Every structure is written in C-alpha cells, then in structure tokens.
Structure 1
Amino acid sequence: MKKESTAKEITDENLRQFVGYNMKRAFLNVRADLADTLEPLGLRMTSFSALAVIIENPDISQSRLAEALHIERSGVVVLVDELESADLISRGRVAGDRRQHALRVTPEGAAKWQEAETAVNAHEATMFSKLTEAEVSVLKELLRRVRRPEA
C-alpha cells in the first residue's frame, strides 16, 4: 500500500519581499552555472577573477590582489600558486622590495583569459536571456550602486 504524502509544500513568500534574499537566490543560480562554465577550462570563480585582475593590473602584488578580490592574504598565496603551476601567471620581484611578488599574465594565461571571457559572456547571455539588453545594463548599474564603496 502506497503511503500518500501529507506534507505541505514549503513556501518562501515572507522572504521574497526582501531584495537581499532575491539577490542571494539569483547569485546561487549564477554561481552554479558559472562553476559549470569554468570547470572545463580548469578555472574556478576565484581563479577567473584573479586572472582578470592580473591582466588588467600587470605587476600587481599579491597583497594588492588579495585586497582586490576581498580574500585573505594566505588564500591569495594558494591561488597564485595554482595559477603559476598552470603556467597562467608568473611571479617576479618588485624593485626595492624583496618580500613582494609582482604578478604578470603569461602568454598561456592571456589565451586562457580570452577563452574564459568568451565562455563567461555566453554564460551570462544564457543566464540573463529573460532580460533585455537595457534591463541588464540597469541591473548592473543598480548592483554597482548598492555595493560598498571599497567592494
């Protein structure tokens, strides 16, 4: 004899009234799809972000990269080791400071960035396909406005 479920469906209407809740739910969907997009390229969200910052800021120090990505310095060491072992970046010395490392993208890293950028653009086109270009622009602007100034 099959037992019928009497469990009531769980709703989240009380939470849906909050912008933050909706942002979190949207982010979880975007993050999951982005992870699937980057994984075949051997990248994660953090390594993709680090590569983007290093390309845009040649010779950035590891501590400045940690600041830019809002991660602990110890975490950036692991991240830089990962990117360097994949031959996507190189570590050099900062003139006048033997403790600092200057990070620079390698030719392989530049090629990987191009491939990843194309893949992420396709990911975003799919994820935000229900929005018009104008709506996507407005969404980006609104999100920039609510970010903390240092974020």
Structure 2
Amino acid sequence: MITEITREDFVSFWPTFKAIIVSQTTYAFDANMSLDEAYQLWCTAPLKAFAYKLNGQTLGTYYIKANAMGPSNHICNCGYMVSEATRGQGIAQQLCEHSQQVAKSLGFTAMQFNSVVSTNEGAIRLWQRLGYKIIGTIPNAYKHSKLGYVDSHIMHKQLIEPSS
C-alpha cells in the first residue's frame, strides 16, 4: 500500500536509505548525512513524500516536488528508493505510476529526472518502459564509488499537454 510517509515510516526505511547513499552508486547525496538531514531533504522539503508499505514494513519511498520555480513550475521531479531485498518485485514501478497520478492531481504536466546515473541500468530500463525518454546526457556527471566518473541522463515524460 502506498501512503503519505510519516516520520516513523522514514525511520524504519533509514537503514536502506543510508545504505543507498553510502554506496555512492545512484544518488548524489552526502554519504555522511544524518537521519534528520535525510528526513528534511526527502520528506519535508518536497511537496509530498510517500511510502510503500507491506505488512508494516516500509519497502520503498518517493518524493515529488516542482523541478523549478516560476514559469517552469509545471514540471515535477521525483526521487525513488526501494529496499535491496525487494528489488525486481515491481515496487519501483508501482511508486512511479503512483507518482504520475499524484503529479497530475497537483497540476504538473510533465515529470523530469535530472540525474539518472548511466550505470543504473535497471532504473533506466524501467523508466523507459514507463514512457520516459533520455533527453540529454551529462558527461562524467557522477563519481561512482567503483567505476569513477560516469555519465548521467536527464529523462522526461509528458504527462498531459499543457493548456495555454
């Protein structure tokens, strides 16, 4: 079930969140970030954040926010994390599909991912299957902990046509 995230949900997901940022393979977050800093960044700074829960466990989460301000605030940005033990079970897809519905309900017309690490092939395949296109590649944008500098992609999907 996907619900708006609570602090308790985030605290239970914290070991997964911490492992993801420490691995330095997909997210450009400070590996030394505290739980409180992460909660602020992921749950309170964005417009909304959600948790995917099953049997009382938080197995995944996403946030949604405007990608930019003013005349570009009709495009949103989201970030997704899923526990390693449950990857490949469709949770990220459910989170992304949910986020698209939330985006439309909030008045966003498109969704953009600003930095999808090129070596995150599973995520790229999923986003493409869900209709996202790579609209740009930033050379050497991410310093991967094992591979060194790798490219990052900007991915975009039009959700609804904007009205004038």
Point out the structure with the larger helix share.
1
Calculate the TM-score normalised by the size of structure 2: 0.25
Calculate the TM-score normalised by the size of structure 1: 0.27
Point out the structure with the larger strand share.
2
